[in-house]
Amino acid sequence: MQRIENTNARFELGYWAIRGLAQPIRFLLAHAEVEISEVRFGINQDGSLIEDESPDWQDHKDALSLPFANLPYLIDLELPNEVRMTQSNAIMRFLARRFDYYGDTAIEQTWIDLLQDEAYDFRNSIIETAYTLGPEYEKTFAEFKSTSVPRYLDGFEYHLSNRKLQNCFVGSRISLVDFILYELIWQVRLMVAGSITVTNRPTLHRFLESFEKIPQIAAYRAGDDYIDRPINSPWASFC
Protein backbone atom coordinates (compact mmCIF):
# COMPACT_ATOMS: atom_id res chain seq x y z
CA MET A 1 0.00 0.00 0.00
CA GLN A 2 1.20 3.48 -0.83
CA ARG A 3 0.00 6.52 1.10
CA ILE A 4 0.12 9.93 -0.57
CA GLU A 5 -0.48 12.15 2.42
CA ASN A 6 -1.50 15.75 2.16
CA THR A 7 -1.71 17.72 5.42
CA ASN A 8 -4.52 19.96 4.11
CA ALA A 9 -6.54 17.07 2.72
CA ARG A 10 -10.33 17.23 3.01
CA PHE A 11 -10.85 13.69 1.65
CA GLU A 12 -9.11 10.34 1.57
CA LEU A 13 -9.54 8.43 -1.68
CA GLY A 14 -8.63 4.75 -1.72
CA TYR A 15 -8.13 2.66 -4.85
CA TRP A 16 -5.68 0.44 -6.67
CA ALA A 17 -2.59 2.19 -8.07
CA ILE A 18 -4.24 2.45 -11.48
CA ARG A 19 -6.61 4.91 -13.23
CA GLY A 20 -9.65 2.60 -13.32
CA LEU A 21 -12.85 3.70 -11.61
CA ALA A 22 -11.04 6.31 -9.52
CA GLN A 23 -9.78 8.46 -12.37
CA PRO A 24 -12.95 10.54 -12.97
CA ILE A 25 -13.09 11.14 -9.18
CA ARG A 26 -9.47 12.31 -9.24
CA PHE A 27 -10.22 14.62 -12.18
CA LEU A 28 -13.27 16.15 -10.49
CA LEU A 29 -11.36 16.84 -7.28
CA ALA A 30 -8.41 18.28 -9.22
CA HIS A 31 -10.78 20.55 -11.17
CA ALA A 32 -12.41 21.72 -7.93
CA GLU A 33 -8.92 22.24 -6.46
CA VAL A 34 -9.85 20.16 -3.43
CA GLU A 35 -6.85 18.71 -1.64
CA ILE A 36 -6.93 14.97 -0.99
CA SER A 37 -4.83 12.18 0.42
CA GLU A 38 -4.69 8.95 -1.55
CA VAL A 39 -4.24 5.37 -0.46
CA ARG A 40 -3.14 3.19 -3.37
CA PHE A 41 -3.25 -0.59 -3.09
CA GLY A 42 -1.21 -3.09 -5.09
CA ILE A 43 2.05 -1.16 -4.80
CA ASN A 44 4.56 -0.54 -2.03
CA GLN A 45 5.29 2.87 -0.54
CA ASP A 46 8.31 3.18 -2.89
CA GLY A 47 6.08 2.60 -5.95
CA SER A 48 7.24 -0.96 -6.67
CA LEU A 49 4.54 -3.44 -7.73
CA ILE A 50 3.21 -6.05 -5.28
CA GLU A 51 2.97 -9.30 -7.19
CA ASP A 52 -0.14 -10.64 -5.46
CA GLU A 53 -2.19 -7.46 -5.05
CA SER A 54 -5.34 -8.92 -3.47
CA PRO A 55 -4.08 -9.38 0.16
CA ASP A 56 -2.82 -5.80 0.17
CA TRP A 57 -6.46 -4.63 0.00
CA GLN A 58 -8.06 -7.54 1.90
CA ASP A 59 -5.77 -6.96 4.90
CA HIS A 60 -6.82 -3.33 5.19
CA LYS A 61 -10.44 -3.27 4.19
CA ASP A 62 -12.06 -4.31 7.51
CA ALA A 63 -10.24 -1.58 9.43
CA LEU A 64 -11.81 1.13 7.24
CA SER A 65 -15.37 0.72 8.62
CA LEU A 66 -16.90 1.18 5.19
CA PRO A 67 -20.56 0.12 5.24
CA PHE A 68 -20.20 -1.50 1.79
CA ALA A 69 -16.45 -2.05 1.51
CA ASN A 70 -15.14 -1.73 -2.03
CA LEU A 71 -12.68 0.21 -4.16
CA PRO A 72 -12.78 3.09 -4.83
CA TYR A 73 -13.76 4.49 -1.42
CA LEU A 74 -14.01 8.08 -0.23
CA ILE A 75 -13.78 9.31 3.35
CA ASP A 76 -14.58 12.87 4.32
CA LEU A 77 -11.79 13.60 6.80
CA GLU A 78 -13.78 16.45 8.38
CA LEU A 79 -16.93 14.38 8.82
CA PRO A 80 -15.52 10.84 8.89
CA ASN A 81 -18.59 9.34 10.53
CA GLU A 82 -21.03 10.79 8.02
CA VAL A 83 -19.16 10.11 4.81
CA ARG A 84 -17.35 6.82 4.40
CA MET A 85 -18.60 5.77 1.06
CA THR A 86 -18.07 3.48 -1.92
CA GLN A 87 -19.64 3.01 -5.39
CA SER A 88 -17.85 5.19 -7.90
CA ASN A 89 -21.01 6.66 -9.45
CA ALA A 90 -22.46 7.56 -6.04
CA ILE A 91 -19.13 9.15 -5.11
CA MET A 92 -19.24 11.21 -8.33
CA ARG A 93 -22.80 12.40 -7.60
CA PHE A 94 -21.95 13.17 -3.97
CA LEU A 95 -18.94 15.27 -5.03
CA ALA A 96 -20.91 16.87 -7.86
CA ARG A 97 -23.59 18.06 -5.43
CA ARG A 98 -20.96 19.25 -3.00
CA PHE A 99 -18.80 21.11 -5.54
CA ASP A 100 -21.44 22.13 -8.09
CA TYR A 101 -20.91 19.77 -11.02
CA TYR A 102 -24.52 18.55 -11.25
CA GLY A 103 -26.01 20.98 -13.80
CA ASP A 104 -28.30 23.96 -13.30
CA THR A 105 -31.79 22.58 -13.90
CA ALA A 106 -33.78 19.38 -13.34
CA ILE A 107 -33.57 18.65 -17.07
CA GLU A 108 -29.79 19.01 -17.05
CA GLN A 109 -29.60 16.69 -14.05
CA THR A 110 -31.66 14.12 -15.91
CA TRP A 111 -29.28 14.29 -18.88
CA ILE A 112 -26.33 13.95 -16.52
CA ASP A 113 -27.90 10.84 -14.95
CA LEU A 114 -28.63 9.33 -18.36
CA LEU A 115 -25.13 9.94 -19.71
CA GLN A 116 -23.56 8.63 -16.50
CA ASP A 117 -25.46 5.35 -16.94
CA GLU A 118 -24.66 5.19 -20.67
CA ALA A 119 -20.99 5.72 -19.80
CA TYR A 120 -21.10 2.88 -17.24
CA ASP A 121 -22.51 0.51 -19.89
CA PHE A 122 -19.70 1.55 -22.21
CA ARG A 123 -17.16 1.05 -19.41
CA ASN A 124 -18.44 -2.46 -18.73
CA SER A 125 -17.83 -3.43 -22.33
CA ILE A 126 -14.33 -1.86 -22.26
CA ILE A 127 -13.50 -3.75 -19.06
CA GLU A 128 -14.88 -7.05 -20.31
CA THR A 129 -12.52 -6.75 -23.28
CA ALA A 130 -9.47 -5.45 -21.43
CA TYR A 131 -9.68 -8.25 -18.83
CA THR A 132 -10.19 -11.09 -21.32
CA LEU A 133 -6.96 -13.03 -20.97
CA GLY A 134 -5.05 -15.38 -23.25
CA PRO A 135 -5.96 -16.35 -26.80
CA GLU A 136 -9.62 -15.30 -26.35
CA TYR A 137 -8.56 -11.65 -26.20
CA GLU A 138 -8.11 -11.26 -29.95
CA LYS A 139 -11.68 -12.37 -30.71
CA THR A 140 -13.21 -10.32 -27.88
CA PHE A 141 -11.23 -7.26 -28.98
CA ALA A 142 -12.39 -7.64 -32.61
CA GLU A 143 -16.02 -7.87 -31.46
CA PHE A 144 -15.57 -4.84 -29.17
CA LYS A 145 -14.03 -2.84 -32.03
CA SER A 146 -16.76 -3.67 -34.50
CA THR A 147 -19.81 -3.35 -32.22
CA SER A 148 -19.30 -1.48 -28.90
CA VAL A 149 -16.87 1.13 -30.19
CA PRO A 150 -19.14 2.46 -32.98
CA ARG A 151 -22.27 2.06 -30.88
CA TYR A 152 -21.05 4.17 -27.97
CA LEU A 153 -18.58 6.53 -29.64
CA ASP A 154 -21.02 7.42 -32.42
CA GLY A 155 -23.71 8.00 -29.81
CA PHE A 156 -21.49 10.40 -27.87
CA GLU A 157 -20.22 12.08 -31.06
CA TYR A 158 -23.79 12.60 -32.31
CA HIS A 159 -24.96 13.98 -28.95
CA LEU A 160 -22.07 16.41 -28.63
CA SER A 161 -22.01 17.53 -32.27
CA ASN A 162 -25.67 18.54 -32.00
CA ARG A 163 -24.98 20.88 -29.13
CA LYS A 164 -24.10 24.54 -29.39
CA LEU A 165 -21.44 24.18 -26.69
CA GLN A 166 -19.22 21.27 -27.62
CA ASN A 167 -16.72 21.37 -24.77
CA CYS A 168 -19.18 19.84 -22.29
CA PHE A 169 -21.86 17.16 -22.63
CA VAL A 170 -24.65 18.84 -20.66
CA GLY A 171 -25.70 22.44 -20.05
CA SER A 172 -23.34 25.36 -20.31
CA ARG A 173 -20.48 24.26 -18.06
CA ILE A 174 -18.49 21.24 -16.98
CA SER A 175 -20.43 18.56 -15.10
CA LEU A 176 -19.66 15.20 -13.54
CA VAL A 177 -20.22 13.37 -16.84
CA ASP A 178 -17.45 15.28 -18.58
CA PHE A 179 -14.89 13.80 -16.15
CA ILE A 180 -16.25 10.30 -16.76
CA LEU A 181 -16.61 10.60 -20.53
CA TYR A 182 -13.20 12.20 -20.98
CA GLU A 183 -11.65 9.22 -19.20
CA LEU A 184 -13.46 6.58 -21.28
CA ILE A 185 -12.99 8.31 -24.63
CA TRP A 186 -9.30 8.90 -23.84
CA GLN A 187 -8.90 5.21 -22.93
CA VAL A 188 -10.58 3.94 -26.08
CA ARG A 189 -8.49 6.21 -28.27
CA LEU A 190 -5.44 4.36 -26.88
CA MET A 191 -7.04 0.93 -26.94
CA VAL A 192 -8.37 1.04 -30.52
CA ALA A 193 -5.97 2.79 -32.86
CA GLY A 194 -7.71 5.27 -35.16
CA SER A 195 -10.98 5.25 -33.21
CA ILE A 196 -10.91 8.99 -32.56
CA THR A 197 -9.28 11.26 -35.11
CA VAL A 198 -9.95 14.77 -36.41
CA THR A 199 -11.67 13.25 -39.41
CA ASN A 200 -13.74 10.34 -38.10
CA ARG A 201 -15.00 11.73 -34.77
CA PRO A 202 -14.02 15.39 -34.82
CA THR A 203 -16.23 16.54 -31.95
CA LEU A 204 -14.90 13.93 -29.54
CA HIS A 205 -11.37 14.70 -30.72
CA ARG A 206 -11.86 18.40 -29.92
CA PHE A 207 -13.54 17.53 -26.60
CA LEU A 208 -10.43 15.61 -25.45
CA GLU A 209 -8.19 18.49 -26.48
CA SER A 210 -10.25 21.16 -24.77
CA PHE A 211 -10.58 19.12 -21.54
CA GLU A 212 -6.79 18.74 -21.37
CA LYS A 213 -6.37 22.50 -21.75
CA ILE A 214 -8.45 23.37 -18.67
CA PRO A 215 -5.81 24.93 -16.37
CA GLN A 216 -6.59 22.80 -13.28
CA ILE A 217 -6.59 19.63 -15.40
CA ALA A 218 -3.37 20.56 -17.21
CA ALA A 219 -1.69 21.27 -13.85
CA TYR A 220 -2.95 18.00 -12.37
CA ARG A 221 -1.80 15.97 -15.40
CA ALA A 222 1.66 17.51 -15.13
CA GLY A 223 1.94 16.78 -11.38
CA ASP A 224 3.71 13.96 -9.54
CA ASP A 225 0.51 12.30 -8.28
CA TYR A 226 -1.01 11.85 -11.75
CA ILE A 227 -1.16 8.25 -13.01
CA ASP A 228 -0.76 8.13 -16.79
CA ARG A 229 -0.73 4.33 -16.95
CA PRO A 230 -1.78 1.68 -16.08
CA ILE A 231 -5.42 2.22 -16.88
CA ASN A 232 -6.38 -1.28 -15.72
CA SER A 233 -4.60 -3.82 -13.51
CA PRO A 234 -1.10 -4.49 -14.84
CA TRP A 235 -2.03 -8.13 -15.57
CA ALA A 236 -4.95 -7.19 -17.88
CA SER A 237 -4.66 -7.71 -21.65
CA PHE A 238 -4.96 -3.94 -22.11
CA CYS A 239 -3.50 -1.85 -19.36
Q: Where are the beta strands (DSSP E) in 17-176?
A: 36-41, 73-76, 84-86
Pick 41 or 182: Cβ nearer ligand GSH: 41
Nearer to ligand GSH, 88 or 132 (CB): 88
Binding span for ligand GSH by CB under 6 A among 65-73, 97-105, 166-174, 204-212: 65-73
- 230: preceding bond cis by omega (within 30 degrees): yes
Work out how close the CB of 23 gets to ligand GSH at its nearest, in angstroms, rounded to a whole number. Answer: 11
Q: Does residue 70 interact with ligand GSH by CB under 6 A?
A: yes
Select the residue interacting with ligand GSH from 11, 19, 20, 177 (CB under 6 A). 20
Q: Are 118 and 126 a contacting pair, CB within 8 Å? A: no
Interface with ligand GSH, residue 237, by CB under 6 A: no
- 160 near ligand GSH, rule: CB under 6 A: no
125 binds ligand GSH (CB under 6 A): no
Where would I find the H helices in 131-175? 136-143, 149-161
Question: CA 158 to CA 166: how far, in whole Å?
Answer: 11
3-state DSSP assignment of residue 40: strand
d(CA 127, CA 209): 24
Where on the chain is the footprint of ligand GSH (CB under 6 A)? 20-21, 70-72, 86-89
